[in-house]
Amino acid sequence: MEDVLQPFSAVYGSLPAAPFKTIGESGGVVVRSAVAEDSRWIYAVNGTDVPHEVSLRFSSRGKLRGLGLNPTEASVAPGRPITIKLQPFGLVAWKTAVGVVPALAMVEKTPPETRTASR
């Protein structure tokens, strides 16, 4: 159980206590964004027991810095969506510059043939 809770808690604990606005929602997955502490914060959470993919588009260039135990960095630009694989009951989040605004968030279930066993 710790192998599931520890990554979730690390990401959750990195988010600011600020009001987030929903920018995408479908099939039990929610994507939200907020501006706080001179940064933009974005997260996607999967409330289901099946994997999903989240596709994010941005209206400006910038870098997303991942939050949690294994932070990564991704470059974003208009017209170039990024796709995130969201595990069952997973949470991913990023911090970026205030001016890096998500323009669209789309959520899709991962097709059954691409799912991997997780138990």
d(CA 85, CA 44): 10
Summarize pLDDT for 9-37 with one digit per residue, the tens: 999 999 999 999 999 999 999 999 999 99
Q: H or E element: which one contains 5?
A: helix 2-14
Q: What residue ranges do the domains of the chain occupy?
A: 2-111
The pTM of the whole model exceeds 0.85: yes
Beta bridge partners of residue 21, listed in sequence order? 33
Extract the residue ranges of the chain whose pLDDT is less than 50: 114-119
CB atoms near residue 54 (< 10 Å): 23
Instruction: Give me the CATH code for the 2-111 domain, please.
Output: 2.60.40.1180
pLDDT at 4: 63
Number of helical (H) and strand (E) elements in the chain, helices listed first = 1, 9
